[in-house]
Structure 1
Amino acid sequence: MLKNWLRRTVLASAVLAAGWGGAVAQPAERPLRLVVNVGLQVLDPIAGTSFITRNFGYMVFDTLVAMDSKGQFQPQMLEGWTVSDDGLTYTFTLRPGLEWHDGKPVTAEDCVASLKRWGARDSSGRRLMAATQELRAESENRFVLQLSRPFGGVIDALGKPSVHVPFMMPARLATTPPTQPVAEIIGSGPFLFVKDEWVPGERTVFRRNPRYRPRSEPADGLAGGKVVHVERAEFVNIADPATRAAALQNGEVDYLEYAPLDFLPVLGRDRNLQLARPGGIAQIMGGVALNHAQPPFNNLKVRQALQLALDQSEIVAVHGLPDGMFLPNCGATTMCGTRYSSDAGSEPVRSPSLERAQALLQDSGYRNERVVLLHPADSALINPMAMVVADRMKRAGFNVDVQTLDWATVAQRWLSREPVERGGWSAVPVVYTGFDLSDPLSNMGIGYNCTGTTPWLYCDEALTPLLQRFEAEADLDKRRAIMAEINQRVIANVNFPLTGQFSSPAVWRKELQGVIDFGFPVLWNVRRVSR
């Protein structure tokens, strides 16, 4: 079925080329096909919250600042910036020749509007905007950010690599409320979105942007020259892991965002395939989003009992990963092996115990209230871990109602603030990468403290001054010391209990050269060569 569908896609492309190009159809160049983890439903990377929307964003939009392979931040759309002696005034200059997909020039006014929209949505952005006295365009290619108080991570925030990424868009679109999708997709990035061929949830089509002007430096992580060597690229959704693996091995697709973990030994032995080697920030951390606003997880002792019940080694073991691809009982809420890693206060995480969890749950006053756990069965990464989480919770004494759904439905239910009797929820197993968790200001279990802007509504008043100290500090060593205090506080309050850190590598066919092994897929710099 997959082969027939792909063959029809290629045939349709050839017919389309004949219709535009004249009487004689030329053979269509084979598209570069990436199999994504889940289908693309939301296009706006500021309104959307998923990795697939982020991946889409990097295809069609661009950023002012970008992270390189060493985790350093480099100018991208910017020519550069200057900082005043007191550290409160940043002046940014755009590099020349930037154009939107509709041919209009990128201006400082566009960037100011884009930053304001992002800053109303993102955790790091909200904090930056709260510390900003003024953000204004000075000329067509220069804008100024004037801080009202010290903020140590201005460039880190502008170079934030994952959800929500501060992508630039025209001012006329950036005036759209951040929770409402923009009316059209106009970026300045290396690819053009082919809306007429988009099949939501199944296939997304891109063409090379002929107006894009790459930087002169070599591609490095998300930074450097984004040179596109293919005329057409596609995101394809194949739900079944076995079908994904077979399609890659047969050459029907070129690249899997995540290799099906059960097939790693087979794929690793295939001489035609290359496995990525993610580490540190590119690894994945599982966790359980808890509804702090509703019983029973509005009770601290109940949350602490759950945290004690979650044995990361047992949960991650369900994937059957070889040694070196997982970490047993990581106690760093910003993930182990990242810039701000700390295990301060992590004893409940590093030493799980069902017996202690049972005793604490009994002492908490828990009265067998129903715990609705939303189980996204269509996620190859979350599905098996969620089943172990549910089992551990039941063994600890929780009355668990597992509701098995697809991720799209889970994402909608997750937004509900109703009690479970009226369609609400109690817990959702999820996964994030180090790109999302490694900075506490953007970490979903830390940076949204007391903001009311995340579905799980955690609020720890003791954490607020620690985050304020962290955001004001620019010295890396002092930030790390503050992070140790933050780690201890977050674990004590059980904002976001962790279920284990592991690698889920991408895999691609070796005839692809120039693939950037960064931790999530980018399709510039890639060319197909004969083998």
Structure 2
Amino acid sequence: MNLMKKSLFVLFLALLLALVACSKDDEGASTSNDESTDTEEQTDDQEDDGDTSTGQGGDLQYVLNVQPPTMDPVMSTATATRDVARPVFETLVTIDSAYEPQPMLAESWEISDDGLTYTFNLREGIKFHNGEEMTAEDVVASMNRWLEKSATAQSLIGEGSFEEVDEYTVNLLITEPSIFVLSALGGTLQFPGIMPKEVVEAATETGVEDYIGTGPFKFVEWKQDQYIHMEKFADYTPREEEPDGLSGKREALFDNIYINFVPDPNTQLGGIQTGQYDVGYGLSYDMYDQLENTEGVEAMAPIVGQYAMVYNKNLGIFTDVKMRQAVNAALNLEDIASTALNGKYRMASSYMQLEQEAWASNEGEEFYNNPDLEKAEQLLEEAGYDGEPIRFITTREYSYMYDSAVIIKEQLEKVGVNIDLEVYDWPTVVNMRANPEEWDIFITGFPMTMTPVEQLFFNSTWVDGPEDEKTEELLKQISVAETIEEAKEHWDELQGHSWEIVPITKISDYTMIMGVSERVEGFQFLDGPILWNIGFKE
């Protein structure tokens, strides 16, 4: 290098260091005039522990529109819980990109000839974040707790228990064979994260008090209403297989992940556009075009499942099937979806995604998106509805829920239904819906499931209430079917029956709006963002 080039290089390096220093001095500054004080404080509290210009290391700043009710994956069906718990907790079985079960903390498994005993051989040398090795006693404690708490486990497995065989082997004993056991174990919602036995035994009715798993990132801090901080787990032992969906090798390529909670959509958008946040999830649907037109940001709108209006079948006005039928008949579902989702939706009567060819069904489609106001008024009269107020709870933190609720209120008022719309933050909605005395209807999204019987609204222990006798019988026939083809016949019958009795009113398949910085490399999505095996571009 000659003298002139060397001098220019030194000058460039000095300027670069000065710019980096200035950027760190400005860290935490508001990106817009209406950015919240909480957001400013959360950024000031976070330390920059790595060089974010390199392929590995640095801090990922992720922004989420809601705060989860808990990080304990067994205790909540909220997708926010799933997303923040996923980097910390791992499962015996997971799924690949085709939704097929694959081993994770299990090395392998065998199934007895009668289908009643599943033997799992555990990986050895796996460390928890507290430094202790994972053994069979931890797996047994974690999995039996999941069998007790999980709606999916109760739907697909029924009565069962895990027992220790030796230090690295456990058995799952069930009373009836099912082709869906491994699917249940690999499910992504309310998933069975493996935790230390002592953590499980210390759990209260609200969940575990220590978030200790085996994942590539370990929990550090939860600053309420601001962020969750997790850091790279140095003693993580990845699998050797190539990554595929949630299966295979997992690597923590960031030093730290900060999951920031920012309910205000304008603040979310501003933070992504200015580079304050690297990944944003759950933005308003009307912001997609702005993201798409922002240099250095990729706009994404993956289909994440279906969204629906849920009825309280535990007590109150919607225990009457005619009331549910009346509401369903009154609604123009495409008007709701097109407005609330700003064009990012798909109309489909199937409760399972169309891409799931083994399960997609058209049964009952004559009851889907077929508004008939005269029929609705007649059903209301038959139900004896006298104008009493219906409590509709919702949240602004998921814009599609609130916007849908407003449109539904307007449509139902046209047939004389009196809607009392109550707006809360998302954790409050989650807590309220657990008490049947506090609501009549709400809007929520249902993520994709591997089998139809995993749908939450088919589980009698979920918040919507009990199922009718025919539904219970068909669910049982699906679960004990010996082949997928046999199960599909029962499923077609169940979907047709469901559209007749309306346990929910499905509105459409829906997307979530995301913004991902182009400096993030390897980002993937499968039932939620995958925060391992991604890093910053060099």
Question: Could you state the TM-score of these two structures normalised by the residue count of structure 1?
Answer: 0.88
Q: Which residue of 2 aligns with 1:515?
A: 523
2:268 to 217, 228, 244: 244
1:84 to 112, 115, 139: 112
Residue 12 of structure 1: CA displacement?
A: 4.8
Matches within 5 A, 1:3-42: 3=31, 12-14=45-47, 30-42=58-70
CA 1:469–1:175: 2 relative to 1, 3 Å: farther
Moved segments of 4+, more than 6 Å: 4-8
Residue 471 of structure 1: CA displacement?
A: 0.9
**In 2, Cα distance between equivalents of 1:454 and 1:190:** 31
Q: Which residue of 1 aligns with 2:374?
A: 355
Q: Which residue of 2 aligns with 1:291?
A: 312
**In 2, Cα distance between equivalents of 1:481 and 1:331:** 17
Q: Which residue of 1 aligns with 2:477?
A: 469
The yes-or-no answer on 1:143 pairing with 2:170 is yes
1:478 to 478, 482, 486: 486
8 Å Cα contact 1:310-1:352 kept in structure 2: yes
Residue 307 of structure 1: CA displacement?
A: 1.2
**In 1, Cα distance between equivalents of 2:154 and 2:328:** 29
CA 1:462–1:13: 2 relative to 1, 3 Å: closer
Secondary structure of 2:445's counterpart equals strand
Q: What is the CA deviation profile of residues 335-367 of structure 1, one whole-angstrom value per residue up to 9, with x for unaligned ones? A: 443342212123111422223212221232212
Q: Which residue of 1 aligns with 2:421?
A: 402
Residue 277 of structure 1: CA displacement?
A: 5.2
CA 1:131–1:5: 2 relative to 1, 3 Å: closer
Residue 5 of structure 1: CA displacement?
A: 7.4
**In 2, Cα distance between equivalents of 1:12 and 1:502:** 35
1:120 to 144, 148, 151: 148
8 Å Cα contact 2:63-2:259 kept in structure 1: yes
Q: Which residue of 2 aligns with 1:337?
A: 355
**In 1, Cα distance between equivalents of 2:380 and 2:47:** 63
**In 1, Cα distance between equivalents of 2:39 and 2:441:** 38
Q: What letter matches 1:481 in structure 2?
A: E
Matches within 5 A, 1:189-204: 189-195=215-221, 198-204=222-228
Residue 524 of structure 1: CA displacement?
A: 0.5
Q: Which residue of 2 aligns with 1:307?
A: 328
**In 2, Cα distance between equivalents of 1:310 and 1:175:** 47
Residue 148 of structure 1: CA displacement?
A: 2.3
Q: Which residue of 1 aligns with 2:456?
A: 444
Q: What is the CA deviation profile of residues 440-498 of structure 1, one whole-angstrom value per residue up to 9, with x for unaligned ones? A: 2221211x1xx3x2222132011111111111124122221111011112222211111
The structure with more radius of gyration: 2
8 Å Cα contact 2:232-2:255 kept in structure 1: yes
**In 1, Cα distance between equivalents of 2:314 and 2:44:** 53
Q: What is the CA deviation profile of residues 104-123 of structure 1, one whole-angstrom value per residue up to 9, with x for unaligned ones? A: 11111211111111111112
Secondary structure of 2:384's counterpart equals coil
Q: What letter matches 1:220 in structure 2?
A: D
CA 1:87–1:15: 2 relative to 1, 3 Å: closer
Matches within 5 A, 1:453-468: 453-468=461-476
8 Å Cα contact 2:57-2:253 kept in structure 1: no
Q: Which residue of 2 aligns with 1:22?
A: none
Q: What letter matches 1:137 in structure 2?
A: E
Residue 45 of structure 1: CA displacement?
A: 1.6
8 Å Cα contact 2:48-2:59 kept in structure 1: no
CA 1:183–1:516: 2 relative to 1, 3 Å: same
The yes-or-no answer on 1:206 pairing with 2:224 is no
**In 2, Cα distance between equivalents of 1:76 and 1:368:** 54
8 Å Cα contact 1:277-1:517 kept in structure 2: no
**In 1, Cα distance between equivalents of 2:234 and 2:314:** 50
Q: Which residue of 2 aligns with 1:20?
A: none
Q: Number of matched residues?
A: 499
Q: What letter matches 1:158 in structure 2?
A: L
8 Å Cα contact 1:370-1:400 kept in structure 2: yes
Residue 176 of structure 1: CA displacement?
A: 4.8
**In 2, Cα distance between equivalents of 1:14 and 1:125:** 40
CA 1:416–1:320: 2 relative to 1, 3 Å: closer
Q: Which residue of 2 aligns with 1:276?
A: 300
Residue 320 of structure 1: CA displacement?
A: 5.5
Matches within 5 A, 1:357-506: 357-418=376-437, 424-435=438-449, 439-446=451-458, 448=459, 451=460, 453-506=461-514
Unaligned runs of 5+ in 2: 1-28, 32-36, 51-55
8 Å Cα contact 1:153-1:474 kept in structure 2: no
8 Å Cα contact 1:64-1:77 kept in structure 2: yes
**In 2, Cα distance between equivalents of 1:456 and 1:8:** 38
Q: What is the CA deviation profile of residues 162-221 of structure 1, one whole-angstrom value per residue up to 9, with x for unaligned ones? A: 2x11111112222356743112111111111112xx211221101000111111122221
Unaligned runs of 5+ in 1: 18-27, 419-423
Q: What letter matches 1:302 in structure 2?
A: M
**In 1, Cα distance between equivalents of 2:516 and 2:472:** 44
8 Å Cα contact 1:261-1:319 kept in structure 2: yes
Q: What letter matches 1:42 in structure 2?
A: T
CA 1:294–1:182: 2 relative to 1, 3 Å: same
8 Å Cα contact 1:278-1:519 kept in structure 2: no
Q: What letter matches 2:351 in structure 1?
A: T
2:279 to 249, 255, 270: 255
Secondary structure of 1:138's counterpart equals strand
**In 2, Cα distance between equivalents of 1:293 and 1:107:** 41
**In 2, Cα distance between equivalents of 1:454 and 1:374:** 17
Q: Which residue of 2 aligns with 1:173?
A: 199
Q: What letter matches 2:309 in structure 1?
A: V
